[in-house]
Structure 1
């Protein structure tokens, strides 16, 4: 652990990513206590302070009904991180199991499973998510389902490529010789060698999930008002550019901050875990 932190600390960009991610996580976790106006995360109006530019009272200004932008961004981070964690917690195991079975078993299992994966990968991710959300009601839960539906194939493809190269290694052949069951070989022998690549990809994907989720909300297909969401906040403010620039600029910077942090941290973990490019 100490050695890993030293490797990250030795790289200024990786260290910057770690700091940014910690700031985002702490902002989301401590939102009820550090938000200047915690009640502004819901259906509340304060027309006396409506559409005000950044000032001493409201550091990032207020929206069209007087809600504090900074407070809403802190709560929006909760939604973004929750969605990212849930999506990856579901998509990663599904894709990993599919990739392991296809990569190790080969034959008809490989052909069937990887053709299914190829079908999903042939559809642009955002288009697939929009198609799913077009059928379902736009809610946070359904947004998670939509993003998960487009994300698991990437893990299946990653793990498949690793498992396929590992199935001819000596330790796998030795396990087969002593009669180890398929479940033991795939999950106890091959899977540990896939974990560094999986962990690195999960870190990088947190940023991409936030972008996709924000894109769905920007299109009105994700989290619905009055729940604060970075994508919907950008969409609401875009209609009033350039006069009320703060309505869009600060939520957009919040997305940039989170995505940039996870990407830099993922690059650092790639070095720590020795994952090939």
Structure 2
């Protein structure tokens, strides 16, 4: 652990990513304590301070009904991180198992599973998510389902490539010679060698999941008002540019900070875990 932190801290950009991610996660966890106006995460209105520019009272200004944008961004980070964690918690196991058994077993199993993966990968991710939400009601839960549907094939493709290259290695052949079952070889022998690449991709993907989720909310297909979401906040403020610039700029910068932080941290983890490009 200490060695890993030393490697990350040796790279200024990776260290910046680690700090950004830590700040964002802590801000989301302690949002009720850090938000100047914690009640502004809902349908509260305060017309006396409506559409106010950034000030000492409201650091990031207020929206059209007087809600503090800084407070809403803290709560929006909660939504984004929860969505990212849930999506990856579902997509990673599904994609990993599909790729693992397709790569190791080969034959018709490989052909069938990877053709299914290819079908999903042939559709642009955002289009696939929009199609799913076109059938389902736009809610946070359904947004998670939509993003998960488009995300698992990427892990299947990643793990498939690793498993296919590992199945001819000596330790796998030795396990086959002694009669180890297929499940044991796949899960106990090959899978551990896939984890560095999986963990690195998960870190990088947190930023991409936040972008996709924000894009869906921007289009009105994700988290619905009055629940604060970075994408919907950008969409709402975009209608009042350039006069009320703070309504769009600060939520946009919040998205940028999250994506930037996870990408830099992912690059650092790639070096720590020795994952090849």
Q: Give the TM-score band, short-chain normalised.
A: over 0.9
Q: 1:186: how far off?
A: 0.3
Q: 1:40: how far off?
A: 0.1
Structure 1 residue runs of 4+, over 4 Å off? none
Deviations 1:158-203 (A, max 9, x none): 0000000000000000000000011100000000000000000000
Cα distance in 1, alignment partners of residues 27 and 131 from structure 2: 32
Q: 1:45 maps to which residue?
A: 45
Q: 1:19 maps to which residue?
A: 19
Q: 1:260: how far off?
A: 0.1
Q: Does residue 119 of the first structure (1) align with residue 134 of the second (2)?
A: no
Provide the TM-score with structure 1 as the length reference: 1.00
Q: 1:250 maps to which residue?
A: 250
Cα distance in 2, alignment partners of residues 183 and 15 from structure 1: 39
Q: 2:157 maps to which residue?
A: 157
Cα distance in 2, alignment partners of residues 43 and 34 from structure 1: 19
Deviations 1:230-271 (A, max 9, x none): 000000000000000000000000000000000000000000
Q: 2:103 maps to which residue?
A: 103
Cα distance in 2, alignment partners of residues 44 and 15 from structure 1: 38
Q: 1:266 maps to which residue?
A: 266
1:70-219 correspondence to structure 2 within 5 Å: 70-219=70-219
Cα distance in 2, alignment partners of residues 189 and 2 from structure 1: 27
Cα distance in 2, alignment partners of residues 153 and 100 from structure 1: 12
Q: 1:52: how far off?
A: 0.2
Q: 2:275 maps to which residue?
A: 275
Cα distance in 2, alignment partners of residues 56 and 48 from structure 1: 16
Q: Let me know the Cα RMSD of the aligned residues.
A: 0.2
Q: 1:231 maps to which residue?
A: 231
Cα distance in 1, alignment partners of residues 103 and 2 from structure 2: 34
Cα distance in 2, alignment partners of residues 64 and 128 from structure 1: 33
SS in 1 for 2:221: coil
Deviations 1:120-163 (A, max 9, x none): 00000000000000000000000000000000000000000000
Q: Which runs of 5+ in 1 are unaligned?
A: none
Q: Which runs of 5+ in 2 are unaligned?
A: none
SS in 2 for 1:57: coil
